[in-house]
Chain A
């Protein structure tokens, strides 16, 4: 099920997005892919709540193309 999450990034959303792009700068596709995986794991640990994490995975998955 898709859950709608309240916005918690603004007003710093552009700073965040830019930092994320900077983190990927200069990496090959494979390296970028691996970085994304590491970031998910790190962020999951920061969130530290299985309930929330499962909801997030379900919501993320719900946007997949059929």
Chain B
């Protein structure tokens, strides 16, 4: 069944009839990133107004691959478990070259993680779940549909926005303007910020089809099929994977000079799909043709305007880093913004959002560009190396690894950035939390449920954790006067080592490690992570 796009109601905002008091945060755009941002802030008690020019969730499935780390963040935001329950966890990947299957692999999940490597779920579901969660914070999240931001003005210590609604226009003042207005960000354009990078000439056709019989054949295991140079589409690439509700996504590379509009017409699309799935009946659900760019802004922070998600960076979809990268932006910015707004940190902390996420986004762009380059060889030499790599990949393990149809989105490491305190450990400072199952007085749980959202000191094995006001502590495989858990099947100890304490930032990145933590050392690490050391340097 086709997804039911229920429109959300337009409620005339107060600002149309009276001047609203200045808001701490206005979020422009209620895509996955703007919505996640609002929920993250609300969980920290920070109120925001979310403005969106539209009144329905994402039209078309768009982002469908949600990576493990993103799901762990979504778990904290309250939508992870729903996504996992609804989403498709694919098990087998097959790579084809021409007629032949080059190799296949089982995506066996590593034991002892709450979430799998990734799931497939249409963006409209993700947005629907996020909106429902946002509506659970009526005091803190003021979600306004059919509110289009048409102008904004930087007034040094705040931003003035002009907003158009079906009932007329009004203005709002905000201490912070969070631009989550997507790849075509009008905010970015108004500010005249250059947004340049690699634009790929190739166009891709993306189609969702609904099909009762799996195109993957008898075994109804969710698979992912990737073709280099398929027999039905010579010289190009094609991808087929599965979403919930019997929807399948097909990505087809088109000619450089193809007429995008004509290619999106049913009479063109249907035969192309039949060539892939055969004569099994299907219904065309959504079609889109587009070109890829791999671009990011030079600076994500411009005084009181902060760019988050696609407004700050866009990537080609191979490797699924668009949506996933944006959610990590939110994870990074949320606690920092809350700390600045509540007066616990100086605005310099916001600058570290730019440093850390610009680095993450550069890594995503590098990976996505390489995958796209591999899939679309530009010269005879590139085509030659690729076809020989494919040939060797039939039996040479190293050559399989060279084949690149998108590298799994992994969280970037923040090692070496200013907020981390140097130290040596199995999970070095800067790295994102590795999940592990725990057993406690209230039954089974996960590390990601216990140590995300706030600074948390976690002791593994024989190490005593000092008591600091307001700092949650957790012990694993130890006994103490703070909550203690057992490392189920030893996973936590295997992943983190023993007799060592880790300090996790609110976004789950390790910011310091200690063999013998003293209250002074731990406080110093928190001060560093809160950017207090930055001020003295300045």
Contacts and interface: CB of A to CB of B under 8 A. Distances in A.
B396 A27 contact: no
Nearest to B373: A21
Nearest to A23: B381
Nearest to A3: B396
B380 interface: yes
A4 B407 CA distance: 24
B401 A7 contact: yes
A24 B401 contact: no
A10 B401 contact: yes
Contacts of A4: 395-397
- Interface centre among B373, B381, B401, by most A CB within 10 Å? B381
B380 A32 contact: yes
A25 B373 CA distance: 12
A63 B392 contact: yes
Contact of A24 (B381, B402, B407): B381
Contact of B407 (A14, A27, A29): A14
A49 B402 CA distance: 25
Contacts of A24: 379, 381-382, 385
B222 to A, nearest CB: 26
Using C-beta atoms within 8 Å of the partner chain, give the interface range for chain A. Answer: 20 to 34
Nearest to B397: A7
Interface residues of B, number: 21
B398 A9 contact: yes
B374 interface: yes
Contacts of A32: 379-381
B288 interface: no
Contact of A21 (B385, B388, B407): B385
- Interface residues of chain A: helix, strand, loop or mixed (majority): loop
A21 B379 CA distance: 10
Interface in B354-409: 367, 370, 373-374, 379-382, 385, 388-389, 391-392, 395-398, 401-402, 404, 407
Contacts of B388: 63
Contacts of A8: 398
Interface in A11-62: 13-14, 17-18, 20-21, 24-25, 27, 29, 32
A29 B379 CA distance: 9
Nearest to B392: A63
B380 A18 contact: no
B404 A14 contact: yes
Contacts of A25: 379
Nearest to B384: A32
A66 to B, nearest CB: 13
B537 to A, nearest CB: 33
B381 A13 contact: no
B413 to A, nearest CB: 13
17 contacts: A6-B397, A9-B402, A10-B398, A10-B401, A14-B404, A17-B374, A18-B370, A21-B382, A21-B385, A24-B381, A24-B382, A24-B385, A25-B379, A29-B380, A32-B379, A63-B391, A63-B392
Given A5-B398, A13-B401, A24-B381, 6 more contacts: A4-B395, A6-B398, A17-B385, A18-B373, A20-B385, A21-B385
